[in-house]
Structure 1
């Protein structure tokens, strides 16, 4: 018996359960999702932020050239399928808490990090004595909309 003929049980419909069931649905693999709703579940309170850099040293995330386009494409496909706004591209503005963070950011910009850029803080009414940096190719995922809409679709199916 192949995997295509098996019925899979997915326990929990947080981010992982939602995405796994989405990919199963796309491949026409039989599955069932069991979930106990909890309003404070991690997937329901998570920020849903996609950020291409990480840490105090502004290191580019692992496999960024593969994972970021894949995430964008996948979330936009789900968005179109459900006809709900889920994926929103953003520019993150990072207010540096000290001069060392600004130095680290500026160093990465000089290394031609494709996601980082200087930002003119005079454009915002924000007090940022150590400056602001811009992080491009970021996004947010409306996780509650994603989870609730996908769950509603599965119940109708």
Structure 2
């Protein structure tokens, strides 16, 4: 009998499977080629300071060092670079953001992540009318090449089952779970927004969020560092840039829209006023978050053989390695999960109507 069955080989399922396998724990992964994985679409931003209020990401002091170590491990294993460290130039978008920045600069927790304030005109020809600053300890992850390498590795090791998972094919009893010809002690669902159709988790508050991303070309070279001013701009080796993203709360379709394209393009054009921009690609993914924006790991309160590893939203590259490390220890040694993200202790239940 297989100890652990994982559903999903996006970033969450891949990292968890890798960590368990490296500890000698037998694991099987079911995945249909990432057809619905937001990991395949995401730009892979690693940004410790987020949103208009310039808040620190959840548990960033804990999560970021573990993420950095994990990506270095992957680079050593597969002989190529995945994590590109680069300060993000955060351009302030309005007076309110500048007020938040002044508050954050007086907070000791923010000091490792906030560079010096750069007054308006410091980054010409960019539109920096409200000034800007560098966000330290940031960059981006090339998620597609990393997932390709892990997929090949899992295939070679006999870990990956390339199939579409249907929830009604899984049977659960007191002693094991069964999916087709695979018997396992437990199943961990790392299936992203498809958890919305999961019958064991229908009563919990997982929230989908559709995001569109553009690939843009320009008549001028893009700056060689990431920029964030309402929308982010990530230069690519071929001279294009990835730009985004939109936030379609509650939306689960994969249709690229003219509205999403126009929203992103208008913001990028406002940041790069001397550029003539053209769209050369548009892609769509659906993120999955929780109502309180804290990811969850662990087991269903009523079904001890059914687990979950989900709710990472747009911060998966930062959050996943740290929480996968804790879930691995929980599975192998019984170590407790951090209480704020322990699904059994704090299930994200839906609000009552």
**Could you state the TM-score of these two structures normalised by the residue count of structure 2?**
0.41
Pair 1:82–1:69, CA change in 2 (3 A): same
CA displacement at 1:40 relative to structure 2: 5.8
Give the number of the structure whose residues are more often strand, by fraction: 2
Give the number of the structure whose residues are more often helix, by fraction: 1
Q: What residue is the counterpart of 1:10 in the other structure? A: 6
Q: What residue is the counterpart of 1:41 in the other structure? A: 37
CA displacement at 1:111 relative to structure 2: 3.0
RMSD over aligned CA atoms reads: 2.0
**Could you state the TM-score of these two structures normalised by the residue count of structure 1?**
0.86
Distance 1:152 1:25 in 2: 14
User: Counterpart of 1:125 in 2: which secondary structure?
Assistant: coil
Matched, 1:101 2:97: yes
Matched, 1:141 2:141: yes
Q: What residue is the counterpart of 2:52 in the other structure? A: 56
Instruction: Give unpaired runs (5+ residues) of structure 1.
Output: none
Q: Is the 8 A contact 1:86 1:142 kept in 2?
A: yes
CA displacement at 1:123 relative to structure 2: 4.0
Q: Is the 8 A contact 2:47 2:139 kept in 1?
A: yes
CA displacement at 1:79 relative to structure 2: 1.5
More divergent stretch after superposition (26-35 vs 114-123): 114-123
Q: Is the 8 A contact 2:93 2:130 kept in 1?
A: yes
Cα deviation, 1:51-108, whole Å, max 9, x if unaligned, reads 1122322122232222111111111111211112111112111222211112211321
User: Counterpart of 1:122 in 2: which secondary structure?
Assistant: coil
Q: Is the 8 A contact 1:105 1:133 kept in 2?
A: no
Question: Number of residues paired by the alignment?
Answer: 153
Distance 1:147 1:12 in 2: 12
Instruction: Give unpaired runs (5+ residues) of structure 2.
Output: 158-353
More divergent stretch after superposition (132-141 vs 55-64): 55-64
Pair 1:62–1:41, CA change in 2 (3 A): closer
Greater C-alpha Rg? 2
Q: What residue is the counterpart of 2:118 in the other structure? A: 119
Distance 1:58 1:109 in 2: 10
Using CA pairs below 8 Å that are at least 6 residues apart, which structure has the higher relative contact order? 1
Pair 1:74–1:27, CA change in 2 (3 A): same
